[in-house]
Amino acid sequence: MKKRSSGVLLHLSSLPGDYGIGDLGKGAYKFLDFLEKAGQKNWQILPIGITGYGDSPYQSFSAFAGNPYFIDLNELIDAGYLDKKIVDGVDLGKNKHKIDYEKLYFNKMPLLRMAYDHAKEGLSHALEQFYESEKSWLEDFALYMAIKAHNGNKSWIEWEKGFENSKTPKVEAFKNSHKDEINFWVFTQYFFFKQYDALKAVATEKGIRIIGDLPIYVAEDSADVWSNPKFFKLGKNSKPTHVAGCPPDAFSQTGQLWGNPIYDWQYMSEQNYAWWVTRIEYSLRMLDVVRIDHFRGFEAYWEIPYGDPTAENGTWVNGPGKELFRAIKEALGDVNIIAEDLGYLTDDVVELREYTGFPGMKVLEFAFDSREESDYLPHNYIENCVAYTGTHDNETVLGWMHNVAKADFEFAIDYLKLDEDEGYNWGFMRGVWGSTAYLAIAQMQDFLGLDNKARMNFPSTLGGNWVWRITNHDLSPSLAKKMRHMTKLYGR
């Protein structure tokens, strides 16, 4: 894992393609070809779970299921499950640079249902085999999504009486009377994983590792909470007693209210963290490396009373700490994990990360505070870390240069010897590529020299996020050549 290398951060949704969103089809394979030509050994993506309200990949209906939006429709057309003329006549979004999630919801999902109706008889045996092999999570997920549709797609907390958990007589009766609807969701997962596994195999052949993202929390509106209520701090009415977030800081006066249910770590400890071991094992089956989001939450997490409008009234509560990672190591051995350890870190958080041996993260955009020395300046990096120009939550380099305070701007110019003719973005990438960090990553937006119009996410905001896309034109031979040269120059 620790061999010196570099890579690109680009989510599957941002890939080029003809059907409204990046998917697991030709655009993904072209991007692998581009990475190979550019001399890159790593492709970092965001969580690939099925998204709901707000379209965030960090709020999924399942910690295990894949997003049906990423299914390549061309394979369904080639198999005779869809008519290309019908698909071409459906509006999945006309803007090749932006995703329209509303159109995908109302138009792509019906296409998948149409494909299922044409495929279900011929694929019945394959679907049954897939269901049995993935039953540990797929049974609850497919049932959850079917009942969710039956209840007007509301969160399970608002479902009609009798559906409040997965073990009630009403749920059992629903399972027997709605087998076709349940099987549709099995169908979506069958094709998602069939296509994902094929893409992953090609990446492995090319020597390209896929780095994925694991959100520390799961969504309240999820099959995970509904089917495993004992793992979470829920009240008698099934609603969470507390939810997750971050305290007020320099970036947010009221903190960040994420709203995810808090784990009942005591109960999980009694189960020897079996759910977490399964989740990590499952993730590493699909990914070469897993980046765990909000790593500091394992040492201590900010717990907010359910129903509070902001995160201000939360309190710090001790997390599972070393005990969790001992259980993971005993079960799985050494695992390839990156700890997202950004933000304010206590000595205890640093100690936990060092105990695990996981590399932490360094973001160059955080380095240039002209008032003080920073751990994010490259001369302070250790080898066991992952260096980024910025992440999906940050501005692009050019956006940052445009908005930063003058003194910090001048500090960055002086430190990195930035040259406007070369491009500030390339100077930033040189700073990261030339560092001692064993792994260097930059967003695709920074390789393309784009401003904040191409930003992926504005934290603590709803709407307009997760929509940015590239086109095939962006993946030019000249860009690949320039990336390869820089990568070779710095021994990556």
pLDDT in tens, 31-63: 999 999 999 999 999 999 999 888 999 999 999
Average pLDDT in the chain = 95
Question: Would residue 469 count as lying in a domain?
Answer: yes
CA distance 387 to 327: 28
The predicted structure's pLDDT at residue 53: 80
Query: Quick check: 345 pLDDT over 90?
Result: no
Question: Would residue 299 count as lying in a domain?
Answer: no
Query: Quick check: 450 pLDDT over 90?
Result: yes
User: Six-digit token pair at 414?
Assistant: 């002086």
Ranges of beta strands (E only) in 419-471 are 439-443
Sign of CA dihedral 262, 266, 269, 271: negative
Query: Quick check: 249 pLDDT over 90?
Result: no
Query: Quick check: 380 pLDDT over 60?
Result: yes
The predicted structure's pLDDT at residue 207: 97
Within the chain, what is the greatest distance between any pair of CA atoms? 69
The predicted structure's pLDDT at residue 370: 75
Question: Would residue 160 count as lying in a domain?
Answer: yes
Question: Would residue 283 count as lying in a domain?
Answer: no
The predicted structure's pLDDT at residue 19: 97
Three-state secondary structure call for residue 362: strand
The predicted structure's pLDDT at residue 237: 82
Residue closest to 225 by CA, chosen among 256, 262, 188: 262
CA distance 134 to 131: 5
How do residues 155-184 score in pLDDT, each as one tens digit?
999 999 999 889 999 999 999 999 999 999
Residue closest to 416 by CA, chosen among 430, 403, 402: 430
User: Six-digit token pair at 353?
Assistant: 């990360």
Give me the catalytic one of 340, 341, 365, 446: 340
Give me the catalytic one of 100, 264, 308, 393: 393
Helix pair angle (179-205, 124-133), 10° resolution? 80
Question: Would residue 426 count as lying in a domain?
Answer: yes
The predicted structure's pLDDT at residue 54: 86
Give me the catalytic one of 293, 299, 341, 446: 293
* CA distance to 238, 389, 408, 411, 431, per residue, from 418 (Å): 55, 14, 13, 10, 10
pLDDT band at residue 238 under the 50/70/90 scheme: confident
If one counts the domains in the chain, the total is: 1
CATH number of the domain where residue 74 is located = 3.20.20.80
Question: Would residue 322 count as lying in a domain?
Answer: no
How do residues 403-437 score in pLDDT, each as one tens digit?
999 999 999 999 999 999 999 999 999 999 999 99
Helix pair angle (347-356, 322-332), 10° resolution? 10
The predicted structure's pLDDT at residue 2: 83
Strand partners, 301: 317
Three-state secondary structure call for residue 337: strand
Query: Quick check: 352 pLDDT over 90?
Result: yes
Question: Would residue 335 count as lying in a domain?
Answer: no
Question: Would residue 80 count as lying in a domain?
Answer: yes
CA distance 301 to 317: 5
Is residue 340 part of the annotated active site? The answer reads yes
The predicted structure's pLDDT at residue 385: 97
How do residues 101-159 score in pLDDT, each as one tens digit?
999 999 999 999 999 999 999 999 999 999 999 999 999 999 999 999 999 999 999 99
Three-state secondary structure call for residue 23: coil
CA distance 423 to 429: 10
Strand partners, 387: 362, 440
Is residue 160 part of the annotated active site? The answer reads no
CA distance 171 to 33: 47
How do residues 187-222 score in pLDDT, each as one tens digit?
999 999 999 999 999 999 999 999 999 999 999 999
Is residue 293 part of the annotated active site? The answer reads yes
Write out the residue range of the structural domain in which residue 394 sits.
5-212+360-489
Query: Quick check: 1 pLDDT over 60?
Result: no
How do residues 294-328 score in pLDDT, each as one tens digit?
999 999 999 999 999 999 999 999 999 999 999 99
